[in-house]
Every structure is written in C-alpha cells, then in structure tokens.
Structure 1
Amino acid sequence: MPKWKRYLTLFIAAAVVISLAACGNGNKEQQAPSTGGEAASNGDVKLRIMWWGSQERHEATLAVLDMYTKANPHVTFDPEYSGMDGYLDKLSTQAAANNAPDVIQLDPGWISDWSARNQLADLSSGINLSNVDQKVLSGGQYNGTQYAIPLGSVAYGMIYDKAALEKVGVPAPSNGWSWDDFFAMAKEMKGKLPEGQYFTKDYAGDYFAYSAYQYAQGKGQVVTNEGVFNVDQDTFLAWTKQFEELRKEGIVPPADLNASDKEFDPTMDLLVSGKIVIRLSFSNNLGAWNSLKEGAYALVTMPRAVEAGGWLKPSMFFGISATSKHAEEAKKFVDWFINSPDAAGVLKTARGMPVNSEIATTLEAQLSDTDKAGLELLRATEKDGQTFSAGAKGWTNFIDKDWPLVRDELSFGKTTPEEAYEKLKQAAAEYE
C-alpha cells in the first residue's frame, strides 16, 4: 500500500489514542471531559481549547482564559495543553472522530491540509482583522477563504549558552554570521568542550534546519507551494556530509542522546542540561529557556550564505473546528484574544509579537529585557529574511513523518546521505 494511503487509513480509522507527549517541565496535559463543547442547561457555554507550548505559554494562556471568563461569565473553558511532541497526532485523531476542540492552535504548515479536509470553520467574518498585516493573514487562507487567524509573528534563528562559549574561549556568534562560520565554530570546539558536552544537535536530517541551509544557498523551498519536491541534491549532500563529519569527530551528540532531546524539558532539553552549546530557536522562545536557566542564553540570527537563512512566519494560528457547536462564541473569543490590550499585556510574546500592529507597537515599551532580545532577533531577520511558506496541501506527513525517519537513520548511521536523499525523493513522489 502506498505510504500516503497508509497515513490516510490511520487518520480515518481514528479512535486510536495516540499519546500527546508532555514537554516535561511541569507542563500539564488536560484531558477533555466528555461534556466539553456542550452547552449547559442554563445556557452557559464551555469551550474546549487546545494548544502546545512551554510552561510560560501555558501559564499566560490560562490567565487570559480566566480573564475572559470574568468578563463573560457565561463562557468557561476546558483547556488541553502540552508540549509539541505528539500534538498533531492527538489532534488529528480527535478531528477524525468528530471530537476536535472548539478552538485549536495550529501550525502554519497544517492550514492547507486541514482546510482542504473541511475540518475548519470559515472565519471570513465575525473577527476584526483590520490591524493585521495581509501578508500574515494570507498564511491562514485556503482558496481565498480565511480558515485560521494568526496570533503573532516570529523569526527563526538560534540560541546559545553564553557561559559555555566563554568557558572554552570561543567568541559568541553575531547577527549576520554565515554557515561557514557555523561549521568553523563547530570544528573549533573539538577538544575544548568537556566530556559529555557537544557543540549542537545532529541536525543532518532535521527538516527545518536543512530548510534554513537550502534557503541560504539560494535554492528556495524544500517543497514548493505547488507541491513539487525541491530538495536540491548537491545542497542536501553537502549539508548531511558536514554533519556526518561532525558525528565521526564527536562534535555532535551520539544518536541515542540526540534522540532523547525534548525541548524545554529541564532535564531532557540538551541545551538546558548542558549537553549542547547551541540549537535552533524561534525569537519568542527565549523566555521559555530563560525561565529554566535565567540569564544563561542569547539569540542570534540563522546563519546565511548567498541569501538569508532565517525566515519570518506567523508564529501559529487559532482555528475553530468545523464541528464546533459554539462557533460564534469561539469567534468572539478569538477576536478578543488578538485585539484585547489587556490580553496582550498578559500574553506578551508567548506566541510571538502580537499580530495586532497597534497592540504590538504599544507593547514594545513594556517588554522585559528577555522579550526585547527576542524582538531584536525579529527585527534583524526582517531586513532580508525569507518569506515563510507553508508548502502545499497534502505534505504534512512528508514533513512530519518521512523526514524524522530519515533524520533518525542518518543519526544512527543506518543510511548514507545519498540513500537518505533517494528515500526522501521517493517518499515525495507518493504525495505529488
């Protein structure tokens, strides 16, 4: 059976419970009560809402849910939240069983698939979008219809351990550095780092890390908007062979340690636990890492080559389930979430800089030093950063399933860079 059919069968079969991995730093997963989304007999409404993120995001979001209920006593919430690991699997299973939450946090890369499957409500009306940039709004559209509302904007860059670099006498990277600088720094680390510490993760088969590298080489998207496989073979081989060399020299973690990494987990995040010195990060995530080890980290732009490697993107979206019994109440909540200065004052940059331009301007003066550092990365990337593209309909499994398989095979030495490229190319052909 072709791979895409196997995934479709799994999706439609639903009722299979796929566990949503908690991010482990005290993050909590709320199970949806059977009454979620049902109207109480007295006319009150309970909205189920689901999101992923760090503990910082969880606490801020719970606070604004309470704020909304105080202003609208007839509306209460059943929140479901955890880390990113497994989030899409669980959400897809719920949706296939017609049991999706009323309000759903969505990654930009999922919008086309979810809209095409008629799983999202039309949000073309009922939400004030007058202060939202059209370029950001377009990421939540499918065939000209608005199905998801952006919540903020972020930039993709890197985060590093300041003390670890200072200890080994290696200068910290600066905005505008190149991929040549990155790999030179990696090799400079050899013999300087203490036993059990490595330069960075093994990113040989990481979709987003490679995307940044291909962008920087001027080769464009990994998957085009038209759904065409566009992994440049020479660029992919150059990237994977660089990491193959770092792997052999012990500059990146061994495969089992690399696979154990869980972002924002105080014991399993390789950066927080001191196992690596630098890793990928979005501009709005510094606060999450800072909450685990205050003042330890700094942000820097994604390395570049002939073009910028980093990109700007809507941080995430809120969508409303097409099966929600309370779509209008859910719209009112989403409208308030993006347009309320009071909500923004609590959320700050937990989901990137607020998407409402007026609120974002007002908020800048109120930002903490940590949030200002995130804003600095955002502004540095805005100058010539790549424009984020969610790719084409039908590619979610290619990105979320096929790439991780190749990633693990490369890390464990079970495939060569040449074989990995052919596997990705073959997998892509099953989606085109």
Structure 2
Amino acid sequence: MLKKRISFLIIALLILTLSVSVFAQEKIQLRVSWWGSETRHQATLDAIALYEELNPHVDIIPEYSGFEGFRNKLFSQVMAGNAPDIFTTVMEWYPDLRDADAMVDITGMVDVSGHNPMYVEACSLDGKMYGVNLSVNGMVLIQNNTLLEKLGVEPLEAPYTWDEMVAKFQEVYEKSNGRVYGAPDFTANPEGMGFDIFKYYGYSVLGYEDAFPFDNDKFTINKEDIQSFLQFFADMRETNAIAPVDISAMNDFSANSLLIQNLTAYEINYAGTFGRYQDQTTDDLQPLPMPVGPNGESGDLARPGLIFSVSKNSKHVEEAAKFIDWFTNSPEAAKILKTSRGILPTEVQRAAMLEAGSEISAVDEKVMRVMDEILQREFKLAYVGPSGHAEISSIILPEISQMIGFGLMTPEEGAEEIMMEIK
C-alpha cells in the first residue's frame, strides 16, 4: 500500500513539474510584416494560426498591406528602431538595410539544405545570411487572353522574341483602334518593373554573361547599355506599342492596374504576383516566360521572389528564426501557403503541395506551369548591387523616362544623366 502511495506521489509530482514548466515557458510576441494580395494575406494568416497552435508560447502580430508604400514604411521603422521582428524584403533593398544595420545574421539558425544554393547565396552578403528565400520566382509576361480574343489578336506562345513581343503590342493597339495599348511603359513608374526588365534585357539582348547591371559592390554598365534600353522604350512609345508615360505613371498592381482596366493587354511582373492580378478580374489571364534574345538567350535570374529577414533589434532572434524555418520547410505550411508568394522554395514543400492534388487552384496550376518552363532555362546569379542603387531604379530611371516620353530629353541625354548619377 505504501509503495502505491509513493508511486502516486511521484506521478503527481512529475505532472506538477511538467505543468509548471509549460506555464513557466515565456510567452513571447513576434511582429511579422509582409505585403501582397488578399490571397497572400489570408494564406499567411492561416499559416500563422497553425504555427501559434503548434507553439502556444508564441503570439504573432501580423502587419500587412499592399506593396505601395511598404518600403518607405519599413525604412521609417528601421530608422526609428521599431522594425518588426521578421520583415519581408527583396535583395535589392539589402545594401540600404545593411548600411542601416537593420538585419541580423541568421547563418546556421535556419535549415537551408533544401534550398537551391544560388538562392541562399542571393540572400547573403559577405558570407552572412541575412534572410531566407520564400519563393522560387521568375519574371513573367502576363497576357489577357480574353481581351485578345475580343480584339481578334492571336495570343503569344513561348518561346518568342523581343521583336515578336513588340509586334504583338503594336497589333493590340491597331486592332483596338487605339483604345487598348500593348503594355504599360514599365520604365515610367516609380513602382514599376523598369529596372528589373533592364537586367533581363542586358543578358538576353546585350549579351552580358555575368554581373549586369552591377555586382555586389559596383555598377558594371556603360552609357551605350542604358541608351540602348531607353531607345527600345522610346521606339515602342513612338508606335503606341506601350501606353504614354502620363498614363503609365498611374499604373499599379491593384485598382489602377492598366491590365485590370483593360487599357493594356499585357503586363510584366513576377510569377508570385500573378494571383494578385487574376483575383481582380474574371478575364482569363495567362503568365508566359519572358522573351528570348536573337540567339535564344534568356535573362532569368536566381533572384529570390521574397525574403524574410530578422530585425537586428528583435529580442527574440532564435524564435524568429524558428518561425522562418517552419515557414520555409514545413509540409503543413506548404499546403496552406501554396503559390501565394510564387513557387515554394524547397523540394519538401513543393512535393507536399503536389500531394495536396485537388487543393491546387487554377491560378496555382498556371504559376507552377510557367515556373516549370522558366526553371528549364539557364539561370544567372542575382546580385544585391551597391548601396544607393535603389534610387536609380525607383526615382532616377522613372524621372528620365518621363522626360524622354514628354519630349524633354533624348535617350542619349537620358543615358548620360543616369551615368552621371551612377558615378
């Protein structure tokens, strides 16, 4: 009898000890920020809810919005010392974030063995991993098949050349009697894709083999490269293949999207944004790989679609890294996130999504199909670029392009101006 009482006491003490340990575990808060569409927002919130269920000591505070203004808000938070514990970024922001000492090195804290090494390198600077890739992404040409059918225009099919793309843009304008342009002027919008397209253009048209338009430390371009690109867009404006700069300057990824308003038949963005466009229209949109150069050259970069970085000021770096590890490696997370940020970053997650079968939407299928095509091409290593280069892409290029579009400057003068800013 005494032995039984002792056994019961031991068991009771063990239960009490375990209970105390659980309750004693520190309840922490992690702020996580991102931008995107309603589809991305809901998928991320659902993933967060599951993570909190699996980790009851973690309370995640989501901070999300559209892309417009996100960068300015993030850098304001960084300067004020109150950036979220985990924030979304892109590699082009790395130099400025590094200069602001905004990111912590999380090398060895997140399992990246399932990631493509080129993407891991793209998320690192000077041998330090400042973030983790959230999606294998690629630049795509988004085509409105419904609108093209109404206009009597045959849709493009990959592979196609730059010249064939421009000819199709012109055909759209002509067949619509000037009511619809082929595409926006991507260079004229501060939040457009102009500079990213310039990178692709350098590899596929200008014939660069590596490090265009910069490596991690310096620019690698010359005046002739820039002039060629500016002239390419000037020629498209001349033939109305693309919308005028005043209209294009208003283009965005939501209500003011020229594609969604049926003012253009094409748009260029990353595959991970495709759902954002399709969510806003009943038209049949189709993502295509980007055009190839004269000899079939592509300019696809091993560029992380989006990156999760951890704030240098976070009080819970290890917990933040643990969440990122789960977010990018967990099969359960994959089944929730799907293609809300593009193609999932690890083989384990992609396999888990495919196993979901019927849960994959038509949008997911389109994104996965186009990324399968892109991944069969030869990739170039993506570089973060020198400090301050974001000003060239978001301010200087759009300003120069608008001046050229309004007839206040020639492409040659614009190239000279940009080179002066670079130097």
Provide the TM-score with structure 1 as the length reference: 0.83
| Post-superposition offset of 1:134 | 1.6
Q: Where does residue 347 of structure 1 map in the other structure?
A: 337
Q: Where does residue 376 of structure 1 map in the other structure?
A: 369
- CA distance 1:129–1:374, change in 2 (3 Å): same
What is the distance in 2 between the residues matched to 1:413 and 1:80? 42
Q: Where does residue 201 of structure 2 map in the other structure?
A: 213
Q: Where does residue 296 of structure 1 map in the other structure?
A: 284
Give RMSD over aligned pairs: 2.2
Q: Where does residue 257 of structure 2 map in the other structure?
A: 269
Q: 1:403 aligns with which of 374, 377, 397?
A: 397
* Deviation by residue 1:214-269 (Cα, 9 ceiling, x = unmatched): 22111354432153333454444343334323323433223322111111x1x311
Structure 1 window deviating more from structure 2 (60-69 vs 212-221): it is 212-221
Structure 1 window deviating more from structure 2 (150-159 vs 388-397): it is 388-397
What is the distance in 2 between the residues matched to 1:288 and 1:185? 24
- CA distance 1:192–1:102, change in 2 (3 Å): same
- CA distance 1:184–1:251, change in 2 (3 Å): closer
| Post-superposition offset of 1:175 | 1.3
CA contact (8 A) 1:312 1:385 kept: no
| Post-superposition offset of 1:114 | 2.2
Q: Where does residue 17 of structure 1 map in the other structure?
A: none
What is the distance in 1 between the residues matched to 2:122 and 2:300? 18
What is the distance in 2 between the residues matched to 1:314 and 1:242? 27
* Deviation by residue 1:375-418 (Cα, 9 ceiling, x = unmatched): 22212112224424133230233333322322333333332211
- CA distance 1:391–1:72, change in 2 (3 Å): closer
What is the distance in 1 between the residues matched to 2:80 and 2:408? 37
Q: Where does residue 82 of structure 2 map in the other structure?
A: 99
How many aligned positions are there?
A: 387
What is the distance in 2 between the residues matched to 1:42 and 1:194? 68
- CA distance 1:167–1:83, change in 2 (3 Å): same
CA contact (8 A) 2:219 2:385 kept: no
Q: 1:322 aligns with which of 276, 296, 312?
A: 312
SS at match of 2:407: coil
Q: Which amino acid aligns with 2:53?
A: K
SS at match of 1:129: coil
| Post-superposition offset of 1:42 | 9.3
CA contact (8 A) 2:224 2:415 kept: no
- CA distance 1:388–1:157, change in 2 (3 Å): farther
What is the distance in 1 between the residues matched to 2:406 and 2:65? 28
Q: 1:189 aligns with which of 163, 172, 181?
A: 172
What is the distance in 1 between the residues matched to 2:213 and 2:122? 16
Q: Where does residue 413 of structure 1 map in the other structure?
A: 407
Structure 1 window deviating more from structure 2 (50-59 vs 189-198): it is 189-198
Task: Mark the runs of 5 or more structure 1 residues left unpaired by the alignment.
Answer: 1-40
- CA distance 1:81–1:328, change in 2 (3 Å): same
What is the distance in 2 between the residues matched to 1:95 and 1:226? 22
What is the distance in 1 between the residues matched to 2:364 and 2:78? 35
Q: 2:102 aligns with which of 97, 110, 119?
A: 119
* Deviation by residue 1:353-390 (Cα, 9 ceiling, x = unmatched): 22121221232343323212212221211222442413
Asked if 1:54 is matched to 2:37, the reply is yes
Q: Which amino acid aligns with 2:402?
A: D
What is the distance in 1 between the residues matched to 2:26 and 2:173? 65
Structure 1 window deviating more from structure 2 (381-390 vs 147-156): it is 381-390
Q: Which amino acid aligns with 1:417?
A: P
CA contact (8 A) 1:204 1:239 kept: no
Q: Which amino acid aligns with 1:396?
A: A
Task: Mark the runs of 5 or more structure 2 residues left unpaired by the alignment.
Answer: 1-23, 189-193
SS at match of 2:288: strand
* Deviation by residue 1:248-299 (Cα, 9 ceiling, x = unmatched): 3433223322111111x1x311101111000102222222222212452001
Q: 2:218 aligns with which of 218, 223, 228?
A: 228
- CA distance 1:230–1:117, change in 2 (3 Å): same
Q: 1:361 aligns with which of 336, 351, 364?
A: 351
Q: Which amino acid aligns with 1:251?
A: A
What is the distance in 2 between the residues matched to 1:116 and 1:170? 49
What is the distance in 1 between the residues matched to 2:225 and 2:321? 44
What is the distance in 2 between the residues matched to 1:246 and 1:399? 20
* Deviation by residue 1:58-110 (Cα, 9 ceiling, x = unmatched): 11111111221222222222222122222111111111111111001110222
The structure in which a higher percent of residues are helix is: 2
**Percent of residue pairs bearing the same amino acid type:** 26
Q: Which amino acid aligns with 1:412?
A: F
